Amino acid sequence: MTQAVPALITKKLGEFEVIAISDGLLPASNASAVGIDQAAAARLSGVPEGGVVQIPVNAFLLKFRGKLALVDTGSSDTQGPTLGFLIQRLSEIGVAPDMIDYIFITHVHPDHTNGLLSPKGEVNYPNAELIVHEREANFWLERQTSESDSERLKRGTAAARRTLSPYLDRLRRVKDGEAMNGIAAISSNGHTPGHTAWQIQSGGEGLVFWGDTVHMAALQVPRPDVVMVYDLDQDAARRSRMSMFERVITDNLAVAGAHLDYPGMVRMVRRGAGYWMEPDA
């Protein structure tokens, strides 16, 4: 008997079709959150101190004008057995990696870009153009590394160079606000120096792929001031999250989030002095 393939959740937005694809779950803990005491984090998340918080990891497939694009690529086999399902899930809907025309990168971190390479280190997307904010590309590829870099940054830089190097001849660096095929780069720095949200606008509607604006929704929606140990610049990450929340509400933009519960498609609303997230797919 063949196993039924679960339908992937799709949202239409003018000429764009957005398909949410889970790469898997990243086990973490409330201890990754900074600026909140652990008792409060346990209460908000429902996960006791020391317990495992499963962070969802979503990538998105975009169909438009006869083209296929991905927003981020998951982590391949580099982050443990609970992640790395993107390519398998694409194949279940008839999309082979060589059919992907563009890959929009929110930022260069293992759970978003390690999936550019196969477990053997080969290029997964032979025909895709990689689109990265110039600040993000410059930071990971050209920054002069230093002995005083944190271990996290040293590891991240080595991984970024390894992952991006086979794509350098088709890596396009874009500036703030610059649009590629109607998909615009919105700088949202802090988590990484060039962390980018990608915005589409069509048929009178808009949607933002906001990447890692939120890692732990149970904590960071009610308390957007809470940052993560993985944020390279925590103050900037906090400011970017707050201004992104305001932007999507003010401009009536739908949200597709990398670390929101599958399918990761929501609307932000104001609630009292804070925020709330409603499913939008």
Residues that bind Zn ion (CB under 5 A): 111, 212
* Nearer CB in complex with Zn ion: 108/137: 108
* Nearer CB in complex with Zn ion: 111/136: 111
* Nearer CB in complex with Zn ion: 13/55: 55
Phi, psi of 116 (to 5 degrees): -65, -25
Give every CB contact of residue 35 below 8 A, 6+ residues apart in sequence.
Answer: 223, 225, 226, 227, 234
Give the residue from 36, 39, 61 showing the smallest Cα distance to 48: 39
Smallest gap from residue 212 Cβ to Zn ion (A) = 4
Q: Check residue 99 and report its DSSP letter.
A: G
Give every CB contact of residue 168 below 8 A, 6+ residues apart in sequence.
Answer: none
> What is the three-class DSSP state of 142?
helix
Smallest gap from residue 137 Cβ to Zn ion (A) = 17
Smallest gap from residue 23 Cβ to Zn ion (A) = 10
Smallest gap from residue 55 Cβ to Zn ion (A) = 8
Smallest gap from residue 191 Cβ to Zn ion (A) = 8
Torsion of CA 246, 249, 253, 257, to 10 degrees: 60
Rounded CA gap, 224 and 92, in Å?
A: 36
